[in-house]
Amino acid sequence: MNFKKSSYSAITCVTVAQLGDGTIGVRDSKVADGPMLSFTADEWAAFVAGVKNNEFDFGTSNMTQTPSVGRICHYVSHGTPVQPDGSQTYTSVCRAAIVTEVSDNAGFGPVVGLCVLNPTGQFFNRGVEQDERTKAGGTWHWPERVS
């Protein structure tokens, strides 16, 4: 059996092997002689599709990345005020932005300065807080993955 681990892992990890009968075996590389779970090809395909759809990220992989100067992220524009008739000229949207400075928000996560790149121009914004969950206007987050 030839167990493989993700190329994204530098140390121990989930390891996976295709077994002789077509099923997929899963082990923990920290426990080389430990127990192995096995799944049918269909079960494994459904799981892998879910992983690709970010269904198992649990908000951890993006949140733990620390921003650094020069990285690209998203800035959420505020959008224009909603008019009495319910219309809104510009809605809140993700804009490309480059990190220009990073400061610690007293333990509440990184606050960054951004150069925001709008389709028709750029502006600078300082003291922008991270918001991966609600992506509120005026916050930044890591770019969404698109499959």
Contact residues toward Zn ion (CB under 5 A) are: 74, 94
User: What token pair was written down for 145?
Assistant: 């993955």
Burial track 62-74 (b if 16+ CB lie within 10 A, e otherwise): eeeeebeeeeebb
Least distance (Å) between residue 116 CB and Zn ion: 12
Q: If we measure between CA atoms, which residue out of 130, 25, 27 comes closest to residue 75? A: 130
Provide, rounded to whole angstroms, the least separation between the CB of residue 143 and Zn ion: 6
Residue whose CB is less far from Zn ion, 29 or 77? 77
Nearer to Zn ion, 23 or 139 (CB): 139
Among residues 5, 52, 49, 43, the alpha carbon closest in space to that of 23 is found at: 43
The least distance separating Zn ion from the CB of residue 135, rounded to whole angstroms, comes to: 6
Residue 73 or 111: the one with the smaller Cβ distance to Zn ion is 73
Which lies closer to Zn ion via its Cβ, residue 28 or residue 132?
132
Shortest Cβ 68–Zn ion spacing (Å): 19
Instruction: Count the alpha carbons within 13 Å of 38 in the hemisphere toward its beta carbon.
Output: 8
